[in-house]
Amino acid sequence: MLALLKQAHLNTDLACDAMRTAFYFDEDVAYGGPCTDRPNVDVLRAIVAAVPDHRLHVYILRGTLRYDVVALNHDHLNAVIEHLLGIRQPAWTSFSPAQLRSALRDHSVAAFVVRGLLAKDSRAIDEALRASTGYLGAIQVQPGELSWLLYDSSLPPVYRVVGNELRIIYHDYQVQVEDDRDHEQFNAWRRSGIFANVSWEDIGVQGTFFDPYVTVGHARITGESEELVSDQLARIVDEIVLRVEKIDPCLIRQLHGALKSFDTLDTADSLAHVSLSCRRLLERLADAFFPPRQEKVRGLEVGQAQYRNRLQAYIMENLESRTQRKVLLSTLADVISRVNSLNDVANKGLHGDLSATEVQRLLIALITLVYDLLTLAEPPMRTPDAPYSNHAGKVISDILRGVNEEDPDR
């Protein structure tokens, strides 16, 4: 087992920003009272309160941590704690090392492992659970062999939450002979009023002896895939920020406005804000890449109001490949069309007619378009003055005003 833990250390650098989080309860305390389902209710209620419906999609494993994995002896427990807290890349946790040691050594731990949370979600859920009976703390799940052994191979899936719907997980074999599902639990969730809808989700043979992917190897590949995807997305973000800072820092403000509005999306007003921020971002990009001109370019009007034409002209001037040019022009047209549609929906107050998923697709397409436009040409050798001119003029005016007030005769 210690050899496995040493090998697991090599995989602790696979953690990414989107996290799986394990929420620990003292099983004897939390499930020892008359209301034995309370931790389940508390965890799901905290998730619903922390994560807005439009981005709520979590998958939950729940069960008792295997004592033979976590606390065989003193040296073994030390190795487990080192892995859980992370070595190369520290894990987020609300435990101190001493608290984690006590939880694993002195308690029978019931764990809820929640996949699909952002870091801020995990912190908010942890804070909410502090008032829950028997709650011990939370820790980010580090990919690797030990995590697979401790969580994935040991804890059964119990819930999936999608928006305002709770799905209770069951296996196909539970209904093949007779219905062996927990209908009492199902009805209790319906009566709770926490979710607009409660349903069953059949996961077939997944996680059973017939599933060939319940292996350490597959867990390693999954962890590495998460890291690779995260690295690629992080690289795109870095490239956007690096290039934007060189060209026009205000572009970040426009992108921030669109993303922030989506994060709090709940009314037609926030839809309108997303639409307006997206359009302003595109207009600012056009100003940076292809400033207005009086003469036509390739038959296109490229004045101040024709920001779409100016972006098209920029694409045509910087892409020699007809195929690539056609694809990027099509993407530009699609994004602008979606922005205009979003604006129409917002103006009509028809928030319910547009799903948050559609808005998210627009933002992803917009970010992809921004990346493509920014990387068509190398960063300029000289930082443009235009983004700073208004502020510079104000600073100079303030200086001159201060000088004149000190010496009115000047």
Predicted confidence (pLDDT) per residue in 149-174, tens digit:
889 888 999 999 999 999 999 998 88
Mean pLDDT, residues 61-90 taken together: 79
Q: Which of 147, 163, 179 is the last residue of a domain?
A: 163
User: What global pTM score does this model have?
Assistant: 0.80
Whether 227 is in a domain gets the answer: no
Whether 48 is in a domain gets the answer: yes
Note whether 142 and 273 are same-domain residues.
no
Note whether 8 and 144 are same-domain residues.
yes
Chain-centroid distance, C-alpha 14: 16
Whether 309 is in a domain gets the answer: yes
* Interacting residues of 93 by C-beta distance below 8 A, sequence separation 6+: 84, 85, 100, 137, 138, 139, 140
Q: Which domain holds residue 7?
A: 2-163
pLDDT tens digit sequence for 199-239: 999 998 888 888 888 888 888 888 888 888 888 988 999 99
Pairwise pLDDT comparison (326 vs 342), residue with the higher score: 326
Please tell me the distance from the alpha carbon of residue 169 to that of residue 156, in angstroms, as a whole number: 9
Note whether 15 and 158 are same-domain residues.
yes
Mean pLDDT of the chain: 84
Please tell me the distance from the alpha carbon of residue 51 to that of residue 263, in angstroms, as a whole number: 10
In the chain the first and final C-alpha atoms are separated, in Å, by: 84
Whether 179 is in a domain gets the answer: no
Note whether 135 and 251 are same-domain residues.
no
Note whether 151 and 263 are same-domain residues.
no
Band of pLDDT at residue 72, cut at 50, 70 and 90:
low
Q: Which of 163, 184, 206 is the last residue of a domain?
A: 163
Q: Which of 113, 133, 163 is the last residue of a domain?
A: 163
Note whether 251 and 368 are same-domain residues.
yes
| pLDDT for res 401 | 78
What is the tally of structural domains in the chain?
A: 2
Whether 199 is in a domain gets the answer: no
| pLDDT for res 268 | 59
Whether 24 is in a domain gets the answer: yes
Whether 191 is in a domain gets the answer: no
